[in-house]
Amino acid sequence: MIAIHWFRQDLRLHDNPALLAASDLGKVLPIYILDDTNSGTYAMGSASQQWLYHSLQALNTSLSGKLIVQKGDPEVILLQLAATYGVQAIFWNRCYEPWQINRDQRIKKTLEAHNIQVKSYNSLLLWEPWNVLKQDGHPYKVFTPYYKTGCLHTIPPREPLPNPTTLSLVDHLRNFDVESPWFSYGQLERHWNIGEQAARNRFDTFIRDGLKGYQEGRNFPSKEHVSRLSPHLHFGEISPHYIWHRLRSIQNVEWQNDINRFCSELGWREFSYYLLYHFPTLPDQNLNVKFNNFPWCQDTEALTAWKQGKTGIPIVDAGMRELVQTGYMHNRIRMIVGSFLVKNLGLHWTHGANWFWECLVDADLANNSASWQWVSGCGVDAAPYFRIFNPVTQGHRFDPEGVYTKYFVPELQKLPTKYLFSPWEAPNNILREADIKLGETYPNSIVDLKESRDRALKAFSSLHKASDKQV
């Protein structure tokens, strides 16, 4: 019997339940399809396509060059392959974006109408969204009870599955085309090692060098206490089940707080998917409808300066330049630049979400949407809108030596740390000694932090009063 395994966000051999099931059935025809037909506005961004290109190369090597890679409508492609190779079954691991769910349901009906067996499995999440509900049957809207009551007190994450012991692949003429023109090209290989083995190596390195001290160290962008596993998890190069159980197997008592914290961060990832599943408008509509009347600004120049890392606010600029140069941004910095965009500049959070979608190698619709709603104060379990990150204070606290900021904003290399995060406060002689001319070698700040903060609080206060009157 020949079975197709349709790779999606599971670009690995280890702990791949659908691939394992297909291999148990007989010969396997492995395929990846870039679906630009059904994705609509959620088509993969440029940075993600660059990562995908390298990840598929690595997967193809693991599959002895037998991976079929195509672009188009999966329903058409799968039916064509099934007819060509006499396929009797098609297996895949579930995806959870609303458009993917609708597409998969439609494809399953079509395939079954052609007498093709279809089975789907869970490889992407520790807990299926429909299995974690409150006692009244409704979904959780706050993370802590979702994670501590809903997740940790329900069925524990399953043990990871082994690689297929025998993987007999179908011979075919449709070889993986490394020159396929629908991939964007970049220099990600300068900053990342990509693929299943690279993901496992990255996790090993994190356990050895970064896990101890993670609970506090994860907030400092120049330290090694971040796993950088998010793109590997998004593309399924490593399994969350493998990560969870390996961490839980560590017996070092001194590391337990760090392990618990990391596992709770995995829980946040789960919560984002949970929200997207139960509230499918998450990517473009405020979950807190009160914010539908918020007086957002329209300022294309400010938005462009933010995107380019030329706001004149050093730690914001450092983060935005890290994003463009590496396809990644440290989580603490993501919160800072997000708060700055929506609260100091007053721009709608979807502008930020769209730019991150284009530039992040770990661009994930669930995490991206939930995180932007969180920092904007309009999500179901969000930071209060009046919590406004002060980028100067944040810089001094989390980049105290200026290592991170000076790396990505080298024109401020000579500026003393005292003035690094607020160069407009530096005396003229200090600026001269540092070879800095504000407005020339480094931008003047595009916004006054105190005034913009007061303006944001005023806008929020008026919105709050208006909602009270409606009640």
**Active-site residue, selected from the candidate residues 6, 51, 306, 372:** 372
Catalytic residue chosen out of the listed positions 128, 224, 265, 358: 265
Give Cα 109 distance to the centre of its chain. 31
Q: Which of 163, 193, 331, 390 is catalytic?
A: 331
Taking residue 400's Cβ as centre, other Cβ atoms within 10 Å add up to 12
- Which is the catalytic residue, given 268, 288, 358, 390? 268
Interhelix angle 365-376/256-278, rounded to 10 degrees, is 100
193, 224, 296, 354: the active-site residue: 296
Q: In what order do the strands lie in the sheet with 89-93?
A: 68-71, 27-34, 2-7, 89-93, 117-121
From CA 415, how far away is CA 402, in angstroms rounded? 10
CA distance 85 to 95: 26
Clarify whether 331 is annotated catalytic. yes
Containing H/E element for 7? strand 2-7
State which H helix or E strand residue 32 sits in: strand 27-34
Q: What backbone torsions phi and psi does residue 95 show, to the nearest 5 degrees?
A: -115, 160
Q: Rounded to whole angstroms, how far apart are CA atoms 450 and 445?
A: 12
DSSP state of 214: H
Active site residue 372: yes
For 3, list phi and psi in degrees, rounded to 5.
-125, 140
Is 349 labeled as catalytic in the residue annotation? Answer: yes
Helix or strand run (H / E) with residue 240: helix 240-248
Residue 120's DSSP bridge partners are: 92
Helix (H) or strand (E) holding 269: helix 256-278
Annotated catalytic residue within 255, 306, 349, 357: 349
Which residues 6+ apart lie within 8 Å of 208 measured at CB? none
Q: How far apart are CA 21 and CA 15, in angstroms?
A: 11
Based on the residue annotation, tell me whether 296 is a catalytic residue of this protein: yes
Distance of CA 119 to the CA centre of its chain: 27
H helix count then E strand count, the chain: 20, 5
Report how far residue 288's alpha carbon sits from residue 276's, in angstroms, rounded to the nearest whole number.
14
User: Which amino acid belongs to residue 209?
Assistant: D
Q: Would you please indicate which residues are annotated as catalytic (active-site) residues?
A: 265, 268, 296, 331, 349, 372
